[in-house]
Structure 1
Amino acid sequence: MRGPRPATAAAACVLAAALLAGGCAPMGRQTTDGGLQPARPAAGDGETGGDAGQGAAETDGGLLSAADRLLLVQLRQAALWEIPVGRAAARRGSQETTRTNLGQIATRHIRFDEVNRQMAAKLNVPLPNRPTATQQSWMSEITGKSGTDYDKTVVARTRTAQGQLYTRAAEVRASTRNTVMRKYAQQVQTFLNGQLKRLENTGFVTVDTLPDPPAVTGAPPPGSPNQRRSPAPAATSVLPGG
């Protein structure tokens, strides 16, 4: 395998800007049995994953937490399995929408992997060079499908994985103490949102392929379907002093 190409920080910024500007062209009750398993290796399989090392470390931009490092690792692992899967789907998909959108997902992953590797080098985070055991099992499962089942499975597996990664990026964006990582996590969210949109554009993301909503407390009960309520008044109209 060829090692990472040397690149300057300016090149990374150009790559990120181009990607985020759009220059590149489940699972809960999942019908394809996509369990909500985190993208991390099984114990003893020799991959870099888990919490990427316990504790915070001082680096560019301030303290970098284990959660910060794990986001970089999981972005790398996502690229390692979704690039070959996307490339294969661009050829094997039974529907044109699957072929087009999964091909774009692979291309965007290739470009963002360059950005992610440069960020990992900047923050001194080691990255793995192979997918996790779970991700490899997904790849084998997808390869064994054909026709519409192939399309449904590749979209469902990828959509679940991207959704989990999007949640992690949001957590890092909200909690990181590192200013470099905070800005990067926001770029990651934009990148992943584009990936999710492409998967949803295939038409194979349905109610049955989405994970269960998170459990929450304090939410209001649903309104009566037979009673139309007027919109709430403007917040300023109910605050003291208007």
Structure 2
Amino acid sequence: MRTPRPAPAAAPVAACGLAASLLLGGCTAMARQSGDGGAQPPQVAAENARQATVPTEWGPLGPADRVLLVKVRQAGLWEIPVGREAARRAARPETRRNLAEIARQHERLDELDRTLAAQLDVPLPNQPTAEQQSWMSEIGGKSGTEYDKTAVARLRMAHGQIYPQVAAVRASTRNTLVRRFAKQCETFVHAHMTLLEGTGFVTVDTLPDPPSVTDAPEPGGPGQGRTPAPAATSVIGG
């Protein structure tokens, strides 16, 4: 592992607000001195450590960056065994083929993740979360097409959750290694969602509710023909 060199201080990572609530510990509680010389409670010191941005020779490493490495690792810890099992147990050939491919791709993604975590000195978990373990049990308890439907629904939901987190880190990280890794993650996640949708089991009832927005245009009513918008180049001044 390369020894980090001090880097200029940087503003906090913009994506921290999105991912900080998903942090998974990993820092040992310790007492730190407060500004007035008094010791901080261990919980406060531990939380400060989790939220810290540290310098590396590749740029500042923030909490959202570290969360991404952890969450990619945990995704592989449950999606690899589910994909391998589905290759044997799924009822439809599309499910067997596509989920097996997702497992293979996660093996490669896990290799990239572990290499980067070692470079940046980020500890990684070695088992799925309790929620992920419950999904694995739920899937394993099904059979026939219900097995396929449940496996695809859980995997698709998980990919839909991490998709915006990957994008937020890709858009905001100040660390060049993490930026490259987030870009790789985008490619993998997009490919996995396409593979899941290719099984035919991604249906309206398996998708989450659409996000709330405040600036959507009003829908056109029946029989209300609308003139197509002109080309942007025709309305741009100059």
Mark yes or no: TM-score above 0.5: yes
Larger RCO of the pair (alpha carbons < 8 Å, separation 6+): 1
Deviation at 1:240?
2.4
Aligned to 1:102: 99
SS at match of 1:228: coil
TM-score scaled to structure 1, two decimals?
0.77
Alignment of 1:213-232 (within 5 A): 213-232=210-229
CA distance in 2, matches of 1:104, 1:111: 11
The alignment status of 1:85 with 2:89, answered yes or no, reads no
Match for residue 171 of structure 1 among 144, 168, 183: 168
- Identical-residue share of aligned pairs (%): 61
- Partner in structure 1 of residue 236 of structure 2: 239
Q: Aligned pair 1:212/2:200, yes or no?
A: no
Q: Which has the larger radius of gyration?
A: 2
1:40–1:70 CA distance, 2 compared to 1 (3 A) = closer
Match of 2:158 in 1: 161
CA 1:40–1:149: 2 relative to 1, 3 Å: farther
User: Could you say which residue in structure 1 is the equivalent of 2:179?
Assistant: 182
After superposition, what is the alpha-carbon deviation per residue over 1:71-96, rounded to whole angstroms, capped at 9, x for unaligned? Answer: 11000000000000110010000111
Using the TM superposition, give the Cα deviation of residue 216 of structure 1 relative to its aligned residue in structure 2, in angstroms. 1.1
Deviation track 1:157-194 (CA, whole Å, cap 9, x = no partner) reads 01111111111100101111212211221111011111
Task: Mark the CA change 1:150 to 1:40 in structure 2 (over 3 Å): closer, same or farther.
Answer: farther
Task: Verify the 8 A CA contact 1:159 1:199 in the aligned structure 2.
Answer: yes
Q: Superposition RMSD on alpha carbons, in Å?
A: 2.2
Q: Which amino acid in structure 2 is aligned with residue 197 of structure 1?
A: T
Alpha-carbon distance between aligned partners in 1 of 2:169 and 2:97, rounded to the nearest angstrom? 31
Scaled by the length of structure 2, the TM-score of the pair is 0.78
- Aligned pair count reads 198
